[in-house]
Amino acid sequence: MKNFMNIGVKASAVLFSAAMLVACSNEQDPGLEYAPDMYHSIPLDPYSQIKENKFNPGGMNMRQPAVGTVARGKQGYNMYLSADNAEAAGVELVNPLERTSANLAEGKILYTRFCSPCHGEQGDGQGLVGQKFKGVPSYTAGRVAELPGGHIFHVITNGRGRMMPHGSQVDPNERWKIVMYVQQLQKGETGTTVEGTEAAADTTSAQTETATPNN
């Protein structure tokens, strides 16, 4: 019986070794690639640099976008500010969205979701996080009450101080709707109803500012 068990163990060891050799072997035929262009792309891939590109300056696939162009999904945000800071954005950026009750209402929802934990539902800096980590300003106090929309948009996008960037969480149009509601909170108001005359005046003002070329 003992000899039989020894033979079984040895046989198992031999079979296991043979299986490992087969599994680790690189001798297997991978077959043929019937459509190699599907695996090896001929067009230039800006995010995949394998060989030097002889057609573009510097040998890179990715090139600097033409000045004045706006990338897909980046609508409503001028990527060519004279300086990449909130102060320049406050002067040069204008909210491209019409100030309507629908946009304000959506801005309030987005604000409640992403901003109120720190800034509070009333914009007083008394959200649950704001109470824990002191120093979140009120939108109705001091210079914060006078911040223009472009400044607010830039801070939402890139963050500032202890506030982290939110550009990856809300797209440009959503950010502008949040800006719209924050400017409502700057006036100490939480409503989302826009009167017809007020909406028309705001739209005319925005169109005039947009049509004016930046210096």
Looking up residue 152, the CATH number of its domain turns out to be 1.10.760.10
Q: Do the domain assignments include residue 135?
A: yes
Q: Do the domain assignments include residue 134?
A: yes
Under a CB-based contact definition with an 8 Å cutoff, are residues 110 and 170 in contact? yes
Q: Do the domain assignments include residue 31?
A: no
Residue range 34-60: average pLDDT? Answer: 74
Amino acid in position 115: C
Q: Do the domain assignments include residue 66?
A: no
d(CA 56, CA 212): 36
Q: Which pair of structure tokens corresponds to residue 119?
A: 């800034």
Residue range 65-86: average pLDDT? Answer: 72
Cα 204 to Cα 6, 99, 111, distances in angstroms: 94, 11, 26
Q: Which domain holds residue 175?
A: 86-194
pLDDT at 133: 86
Q: Which pair of structure tokens corresponds to residue 113?
A: 């979701």
Q: Do the domain assignments include residue 47?
A: no
Higher pLDDT, 118 or 18: 118
Predicted confidence (pLDDT) per residue in 111-160, tens digit: 999 999 999 999 999 999 988 888 898 999 999 999 999 999 999 999 99
Q: Do the domain assignments include residue 155?
A: yes
pLDDT at 63: 76
Q: Do the domain assignments include residue 62?
A: no
Q: Do the domain assignments include residue 3?
A: no
Is the predicted pLDDT of residue 49 greater than 90, yes or no?
Answer: no
The total number of structural domains that make up the chain: 1
Under a CB-based contact definition with an 8 Å cutoff, are residues 150 and 91 in contact? yes
Is the predicted pLDDT of residue 171 greater than 80, yes or no?
Answer: yes
